[in-house]
Amino acid sequence: MAVMTNAQLDLIKNEFKTLKERSPFYAKKFAGIDLSDVQSQEDFEKLPFSEKNDLREAYPLGIQAVPDEDVVRIHSSSGTTGTPVIIPYTAQDVSDWAEMFARCLKIAGCTNLDRIQITPGYGLWTAGIGFQAGVERLGAMAIPMGPGNTEKQLKMMQDLKSTVITATSSYALLLAEEITKRNLRDKICLRKGVIGSERWGQKTRERIQSEMGIEIYDIYGLTEIYGPGIGISCDEHDGIHMFSDYVYCEVIDPKTGQVLPDGEEGELVLTTLRKQGAPLIRFRTHDLTSIRPDDCPCGRNEYPRINMITGRSDDMVKVKGCNFFPAQVEECLAFVDGCSSEYQIQIEAINDRDVLTLFFETALTGEDKERCEKQLAEVFKAKIGCTPNAEGVPMGELPRSTKKTQRVFDSRY
């Protein structure tokens, strides 16, 4: 299993000296635990996990572990299931994050001569601002586009001769398709892509690489732990190097919580080693991966690798750039007259595009059924953010189960 280095253990022990005094969140979570008893990796592995739900319950600033005057910024995760999570940052946290981000860009082969077009969103979300800070720390030229407006993206890409594109995989694909459609391949100067590591297929990756003429690197991170930038793939494109001087990685069995040996797939659990504003101890990411037991040929063995994320251990559905839970689908169904509660979500990749079909049972037929399908698709779009193909089926058509009914069938990749 992952071996905690002495340097990591020292950082954790140091953090624990005053953690409960500084943080009401951990005073409560570790009530009855004397943190000075944690003297080894084995002791550490007995500590309870932190969950996203714990952070939600601490909304808005319950996880803050520094005085107000030390907080310089907050970010927030999307509130897809209701309450968002707010993460406070100190000046040191912001600086550490920029340092890691710049390190990512260097591993991806970027230099201060690059012109880096940033297409992820700015604002509460961590991606846009994170990239911006990393690019500036590297000394490269940031082109802070933000999302959307493909016309302008392509114009700036040509006029400014952008050499690096940063994007989600979905948006990178869209841009790649537009470049091909408009025959712009010879007019652009892109050489690298740094892509947020949502779960995506090799076929999509290859298309983006060949249509844009770039080499792609997967950047990893999550809002709760700085944001993107805590790890990235290298020129070997075989796993993600994690910055072990800032985060400690464990992979656990999602059912039992036991730490797994290297090489076995489970859920990634992260501990921040230096974070001040909102330290996180044994935070369950729900991302499924494994720790690589072998050294990377690139030689960056100080940053151990995890494999590409293969999925999530919880049931969040990610499709067409939006995230939702089955519970939200149920809310949509409840909103539309004529829909029953029974539904099934089918997600397929057709020509590299995600196609989301929402089957639902209804007693309606003919025009009434069509009206109901249309209305459900609209409600879904309004509440969740993407448009499904809503398809009414006769009552009793969908399978029933005495246990938990499987409602999501994802055949992508």
Of 15-23, 232-240, 375-383, 395-403, the segment contacting Zn ion by CB under 5 A is: 232-240
3-state secondary structure 146-175: CCCCHHHHHHHHHHCCCCEEEECHHHHHHH
Of 143, 234, 269, 372, the one binding Zn ion (CB under 5 A) is 234
The DSSP element (H or E) to which 312 belongs, if any, is strand 311-312
- Nearest Cα neighbor of 118 from 194, 187, 230 is 194
What are the structure tokens assigned to 399, written together? Answer: 């399978």
- Provide the minimum distance between the beta carbon of 196 and Zn ion in the complex, in angstroms, as a whole number: 19
Contact region with Zn ion (CB under 5 A), list: 17-25, 28-36, 80-88, 226-234: 226-234
- CB-wise, 147 or 229, nearer to Zn ion? 229
Sign of the C-alpha dihedral, residues 370, 372, 373, 375? positive
Q: To the nearest whole angstrom, how small is the minimum distance from the Cβ of residue 202 to Zn ion?
A: 18
Task: Give alpha helix (H) positions in 189-287.
Answer: 202-212
H or E stretch at 127:
helix 127-138
Q: Does 232 bind Zn ion (CB under 5 A)?
A: no
Q: From the CB of residue 113, how many other CB atoms can be counted at a distance below 10 Å?
A: 9
- Max Cα distance, the chain (Å): 69
Nearer to Zn ion, 275 or 305 (CB): 305
Omega into 60 within 30° of 0, i.e. cis? Answer: yes
Indicate whether 316 belongs to the interface with Zn ion (CB under 5 A). Answer: no
Shortest Cβ distance from residue 298 to Zn ion (Å)?
3
Cα angle 105, 111, 114 (rounded to 5 degrees) comes to: 95
State in angstroms the smallest separation of the CB of 309 from Zn ion: 17
3-class SS of residue 225? strand
With b for 16 or more beta-carbon neighbours within 10 A and e for fewer, the 206-220 pattern comes to ebbeebbbbebbbbb
Q: How far is the CB of 140 from Zn ion (least distance, A)?
A: 21
Residues 6+ apart with CB under 8 A from 6: none
CB closer to Zn ion, 309 vs 390 = 309
Least distance CB 146 / Zn ion (angstroms): 31
Q: Give the nearer residue to Zn ion in terms of CB position, either 58 or 110.
A: 110
CB 244 → Zn ion: shortest distance, Å? Answer: 13
Question: What distances in angstroms separate CA 210 from CA 22, 128, 189, one per listed residue?
Answer: 51, 25, 13
Q: Which stretch binds Zn ion (CB under 5 A): 8-16, 149-157, 236-244, 398-406?
A: 236-244
Binding flag, residue 296, Zn ion (CB under 5 A):
yes
How far apart are the C-alpha atoms of 198 and 308, rounded to whole Å? 9
Query: Angle, to 10 degrees, between the axis of helix 150-159 and the axis of helix 169-181?
Result: 70
Smallest distance from Zn ion to CB 233, Å:
8
The stretch near Zn ion (CB under 5 A) out of 120-128, 222-230, 297-305, 399-407 is 297-305
Q: Which of 33, 124, 156, 298 binds Zn ion (CB under 5 A)?
A: 298
Nearer to Zn ion, 135 or 234 (CB): 234
Stretches 57-65, 94-102, 197-205, 227-235: which one binds Zn ion (CB under 5 A)? Answer: 227-235
Residues that contact Zn ion, how many (by CB under 5 A): 4
**DSSP code for 112:** T
Query: Which of the stretches 214-222, 233-241, 244-252, 325-333 binds Zn ion when contact is defined by CB under 5 A?
Result: 233-241
Cβ nearer to Zn ion, comparing 173 with 242: 242
The residues of the shown chain that bind Zn ion, judged by CB under 5 A, are 234, 236, 296, 298
